[in-house]
Amino acid sequence: MLKRTHTCGELGKDHIGESVNLNGWVNTVRLHGQVIFIDLRDRYGKTQIVFNSEDYDGDFESVKKLSMEDVLSVKGTVQARGENAVNPDMSTGEIEVMVDTMELLSETTPLPFVITDRESASEDLRLKYRYLELRTDELQYNIITRHKAYQAVRGFLSENNFLEVETPILMKSTPEGARDFLVPSRLHNGKFYALPQSPQIYKQILMISGFDRYFQIVKCFRDEDFRADRQPEFTQIDIEMSFVDEEDIYSNMEGMTRHVFKEVIGTELPDPFPRITYDEAMSKYGSDKPDTRYELFLQDVKQFTDVSDFNAFKSAECVKAIVVLGGAKYSRKNIDEMTDLVKSFKAKGLTWMKMEEGQLTGGISKFFGDDLQKELISSTGICDGDIIFLIGDERSVTEKSLGALRVEIANRENLADKNDFKPLWVTEFPMFEIDEETDKLTFLHHPFTSPTTQNVNELDSDPESLKARAYDLTLNGYEIAGGSIRIHNPEIQNKVFSLLGLSQEEAQEKFGFLVEALTYGAPPHGGIAFGFDRLVMLLTGSSNIRDVIAFPKTTSALSLMDGSPDSVSDNQLDELNIQIIKKK
């Protein structure tokens, strides 16, 4: 191998006349008789290399046999391209390298898909040959962007007195919302470690230990059902601070987020970030992570439906609507598709009316008299050519289903500019919610979140109405970070466990070590965790979280490249005293 003197992305007019060595992959081959043009590629870029049968010292016939993705080492002289041959799309487009020596370092077998065209293969095939897909320009850009984001985060936090501390990967199984991945212990028969869903308890203990500013870019694990923006193992920017309140969190995290966007993609974010309460977000956008790049607000129209002849909404707790500009073009098929969408969010159906020549037509318009139509038109601002969609149901169902419809319409109408970034804090979350399966109280964030009151008696009186000192940072319809001020009073912590239905014995078994630590002088503290994969997804403009992870799992938690999860030998199972029982 010829040791490279330059990368394939750095040569320019200043290097003309120099002898250089390049190593890389064959990206393209163009045969022109006795002259062969090859674009040689590495992660830094591409350089056009030229083999001329008259000047090349080696076997010219072997050059003709080169294939895309063969690995070459070449030596040659840099020369200027002809005036009409300059390629403005390549950073090295003003020069080329006339090759006099070449070594074929590695010959490829036939490719399962075309490296220069990701769309030439299904995602499953690309994930099976992930090492090939990682050679594509798009994924190389994504992984480089991820690296830059790592460095920007570490740089900002280190400069602001945060200490990076590693916490255990093998820990005690604790109920924190999702299902744990369990690891059987060979040395302690019948006992298990869990992989951490987050370092939540450890970082609180670090605060008790006196490390007042902690961070970690850490792997977390949750055994749950998956979506396009979720993985069974994911990366989190974990942060905790002592002697702070919400304003300290907002200030520091806005500074870090602005720094990352500026350093990584050169984008300026606002200062300060706007804020909205959870109740306002649900009422106005139908989402606790609203995309504010477009309007399309939810409007309360119950006062109009209550006096209409449309009886189906009379008993509804909440009736809301959204007006879609130009939506009168929607066909019956379009409306049926949207109806199916809202039904998946438990809405019973979707009603509508179109505005034509100053009147509401179609759908349920016949149930609204002329005068009532005028009032509804004036209140909602609907105009000719628009459509209004209405849902009446329980408040939570109405708002969530219309919120989902709002996002669907924005996608259909291209209402959101992908180069526009709108961060937003969502605050004042409910402390608890009712679990639909058990009909019992459960937590919205985690059981260590501090309520707004420190009065134990108030916790007992009406727990469903309590607010939490919790906050989420959202961006363009995604939650990119979530956190809270934590409980540092052991009496309050035990009361919250009790409200969640944990007996004193259960709380002691699962969380006793944390509660005991709180009794030894715990400082007021709070923190936040950023979904690093999701953050990088937004930085790169991708819509698939798997595109910003080097070796991701599928939505069914499979690694197609290495075949995991996989069976293990009987000897391994015997050592762990585990027996596999097949389901009937």
> 344-386, pLDDT tens digit by residue?
999 999 999 999 999 999 999 999 999 999 999 999 999 999 9
Whether 441 shows a pLDDT value over 90: the answer reads no
3-state secondary structure of 176: coil
Each residue's pLDDT tens digit, 12-35:
999 999 999 999 999 999 999 999
CA-to-CA distance for 148 and 335, rounded, in angstroms?
44
Each residue's pLDDT tens digit, 291-325:
999 999 999 999 999 999 999 999 999 999 999 99
**Is residue 161 within 8 Å of residue 185, measured between CB atoms?**
no
Calculate the dihedral angle through the C-alpha atoms of 304, 392, 477, 276, rounding to the nearest 10 degrees.
60
The per-residue pLDDT of the chain, averaged, comes to 94
How many C-beta neighbours within 10 Å does residue 67 have? 12
**Is residue 66 within 8 Å of residue 59, measured between CB atoms?**
no
pLDDT band (50, 70, 90) for residue 515: very high
CA-to-CA distance for 285 and 266, rounded, in angstroms?
29
Return the pLDDT at 414: 95
Alpha helices in 160-199 (DSSP H): none
CA-to-CA distance for 13 and 399, rounded, in angstroms?
60
How many C-beta neighbours within 10 Å does residue 124 have? 10
CA-to-CA distance for 369 and 345, rounded, in angstroms?
31
How many C-beta neighbours within 10 Å does residue 45 have? 19
Over the range 432-457, which residues count as b (16 or more CB within 10 Å of their CB) and which as e? beeeeeeeebebbbbbbbbbeeeeee
Calculate the dihedral angle through the C-alpha atoms of 145, 147, 150, 152, rounding to the nearest 10 degrees.
-60
Phi-psi region of 577 (alpha: psi -120 to 50; beta: other; left: phi over 0): left
Q: Which of residues 233 and 460 earns the better pLDDT score? A: 233
Return the pLDDT at 503: 83
Each residue's pLDDT tens digit, 248-301:
999 999 999 999 999 999 999 999 999 999 999 999 999 999 999 999 999 999
Over the range 93-114, which residues count as b (16 or more CB within 10 Å of their CB) and which as e? bbbbbebbebeeeeeeeeeebe
- Angle value at C-alpha 235, between 231 and 192, nearest 5 degrees: 75
Helix axes 278-285, 395-413, angle to 10 degrees: 60
Q: Which residues contact 191 (CB under 8 A, 6 or more apart)?
A: 184, 185
CA-to-CA distance for 474 and 492, rounded, in angstroms?
29
Each residue's pLDDT tens digit, 98-131:
999 999 999 999 999 999 888 889 999 999 999 9
Return the pLDDT at 10: 96
Return the pLDDT at 582: 83
Q: Mean per-residue pLDDT for 172-188?
A: 86
CA-to-CA distance for 534 and 481, rounded, in angstroms?
9
* Sequence letter at residue 464: E
Calculate the dihedral angle through the C-alpha atoms of 540, 541, 547, 553, rounding to the nearest 10 degrees.
110
Q: What percent of the chain has pLDDT over 70?
A: 98
Supply the DSSP string of 411-479, one letter for each residue.
HHHT-S-TT---EEEEE--BSEEE-TTT-SEEESS-TTBPBS---HHHHHH-GGG-BBSEEEEEETTEE
Nearest to 215, CA basis, from 252, 176, 248, 241: 241
Top-ranked range on mean pLDDT: pick from 296-305, 425-434, 442-451: 296-305
CA-to-CA distance for 527 and 218, rounded, in angstroms?
15
Strand (E) positions, 62-186?
71-80, 95-106, 163-164, 181-184
Nearest to 237, CA basis, from 484, 532, 478: 532
pLDDT band (50, 70, 90) for residue 446: confident
Return the pLDDT at 177: 65
Return the pLDDT at 226: 62
Phi-psi region of 368 (alpha: psi -120 to 50; beta: other; left: phi over 0): beta
CA-to-CA distance for 56 and 161, rounded, in angstroms?
59
Q: Which H or E run contains 200?
A: helix 200-208
The DSSP output letter for 202 is H
* Sequence letter at residue 413: E
pLDDT band (50, 70, 90) for residue 434: confident
Q: Which of residues 346 and 465 earns the better pLDDT score? A: 346
How many C-beta neighbours within 10 Å does residue 210 have? 9
Q: Which residues contact 328 (CB under 8 A, 6 or more apart)?
A: 354, 355, 356, 384, 385, 386, 387
Nearest to 424, CA basis, from 469, 481, 486, 484: 481
